[in-house]
Amino acid sequence: MKELVGTEKVVWSCNEWDPLEEVIVGVVEGAIVPVWNPALQATTPKHAKSFFEKYGGKPFPKVMIEEASKELDGLVKVLESAGVKVRRPEITNIDFSKTYETPWWKSQGLYAAMPRDIIMVIGDIMVEAPMAWRSRYFEIFAYRNLMKEYFNKGARWLAAPKPSMADSFYNQDYHPDRAMIDGVKQFVVSEAEIAFDAADFVRFGTDILVQKSNVTNALGIEWVRRHIGPEYTIHEVNFGDEHPMHIDTTIVPLGPGKLLINPSWVDKKDIPKMFDSWDIIEAPAPVKAYDSALYFSSDWLTMNFLSIDDKKIIVEENERPLMDLLESHGFQTIPIPFRHFYPFGGSMHCATTDIRRRGILQSYF
């Protein structure tokens, strides 16, 4: 197989660990707190409700934006000093505070903080996710100029059909307290229309794992399967997170043959057989010795780190047990402060999306 180096393709990334050459890093400026709604309730920690009641429809408090923005800039510096080209979304052409209206509903926007949720690079294809939250309906426009630039330079661009997000798209009888009925996981999104967030997929070369979640349904998975091409195999997995939204705190590939799992959600018997020869490494419990309130996510942002390559990993500086574990497996860790970004719903994996990693498309199984 001919090796495709980064300089040959403007967009090229096949897994989570090949050497990173170009990446999009999100921004928090202009972020708006969503108004409390059933889709949000499906995955938000219960304690977060009062935050949404207080700030819903308003900008995130200034101090939160400033502190998170500083941490994003710190991430950018670390990436640039490692030789990675960093691009940022444009928020001058989109005002997230503005109320927009479709034939079925009205909403404001959210932010352009989490490019991983909305754009997934598979080989040389930029896949634009349709999303499942009304507040994220127009978020992609913060990235469209960048995507147009990559397209003009030869990348492929695949945009999934957006669901109407009308009331009928959501399961009206869903409640997070009844997320498991007779052993079957329930989700707030129905199967009425195609839906997925890019962050429910994780890439291992020609094999891609995906989970159904409160933003990703079976139709969405089937749409990706049919559109990305016959060289890829999509494997659906189902782990123990009762309120799933995004797989990147559940299983995280570290490199060929090494998979980090979240031991509180992943039962080893549910890991597909193809991983039988891989080292399955259990992540340590998240460190909670800091004051970040988590409004959109579980505690497991610990695992939401970013690999520069299959030896170097950028990690939140408080996560000492994780760093010790990774170092004991031969990785170099690069600690940076990132806990002020956590309340926006992710850590540095969510805050970025690969544009180019040097390497080849291959099977690791």
- Would you name the residues annotated as active-site residues? 197, 246, 350
The Cα angle at residue 297 between residues 293 and 298, in degrees rounded to 5: 90
- Candidates 300, 305, 331, 344; binder of ligand ABU (CB under 6 A) is 300
- Candidates 206, 298, 333, 353; binder of ligand ABU (CB under 6 A) is 298
Ramachandran assignment for 362, one of left (phi > 0), alpha (psi -120 to 50 degrees), beta (any other):
beta
Alpha-carbon span 103 to 112, nearest angstrom: 24
| Residue closest to 23 by CA, chosen among 315, 310, 355, 254 | 355
In terms of CB distance, is 17 or 300 closer to ligand ABU? 300
In terms of CB distance, is 207 or 241 closer to ligand ABU? 241
Q: What minimum distance in Å lies between the beta carbon of 298 and ligand ABU? A: 4
In terms of CB distance, is 246 or 357 closer to ligand ABU? 246
User: Does position 239 bind ligand ABU by CB under 6 A?
Assistant: no
Q: What minimum distance in Å lies between the beta carbon of 245 and ligand ABU? A: 6
What tokens appear for 78 in the block?
Answer: 């670390």
Transcribe 69-87 into DSSP letters.
HHHHHHHHHHHHHTT-EEE
Q: Which part of the chain contacts ligand ABU (CB under 6 A), choosing from 58-66, 178-186, 297-305, 310-318? A: 297-305
Query: How many CB atoms neighbour CB 52 within 10 A?
Result: 19
**Site size for ligand ABU, by CB under 6 A?**
12
- Candidates 13, 297, 307, 353; binder of ligand ABU (CB under 6 A) is 297
Q: What minimum distance in Å lies between the beta carbon of 352 and ligand ABU? A: 12
In terms of CB distance, is 251 or 308 closer to ligand ABU? 251
Taking residues 12 to 41 in sequence order and writing x for each that binds ligand ABU by CB under 6 A, - otherwise, the string is ------------------------------
Sign of CA dihedral 123, 92, 51, 66: positive
- Candidates 44, 135, 214, 249; binder of ligand ABU (CB under 6 A) is 249
Q: Which part of the chain contacts ligand ABU (CB under 6 A), choosing from 29-37, 152-160, 165-173, 246-254? A: 246-254
* Beta pairing, strands 207-211 & 233-237: parallel
- DSSP E strand stretches across 191-278: 201-204, 207-211, 233-237, 251-255, 258-261
Alpha-carbon span 215 to 34, nearest angstrom: 16
DSSP state of 339: T
CA contacts within 13 A on the Cβ side of 42 = 25
Q: What minimum distance in Å lies between the beta carbon of 296 and ligand ABU? A: 7
In terms of CB distance, is 122 or 199 closer to ligand ABU? 199
Exposed, middle or buried: residue 55 (CB in 10 Å: 0-12, 13-18, 19+)? middle
Alpha-carbon span 132 to 298, nearest angstrom: 19
Taking residues 73 to 92 in sequence order and writing x for each that binds ligand ABU by CB under 6 A, - otherwise, the string is --------------------
Stretch 333-352 residues interacting with ligand ABU (CB under 6 A): 345-346, 350
| Residue closest to 44 by CA, chosen among 237, 265, 293 | 293
User: Does position 246 bind ligand ABU by CB under 6 A?
Assistant: yes
In terms of CB distance, is 89 or 346 closer to ligand ABU? 346
Q: Which part of the chain contacts ligand ABU (CB under 6 A), choosing from 125-133, 151-159, 243-251, 328-336? A: 243-251
- DSSP E strand stretches across 308-351: 312-316, 332-336
- What residues make contact with ligand ABU under the rule CB under 6 A? 199, 245-246, 248-249, 297-298, 300, 304, 345-346, 350
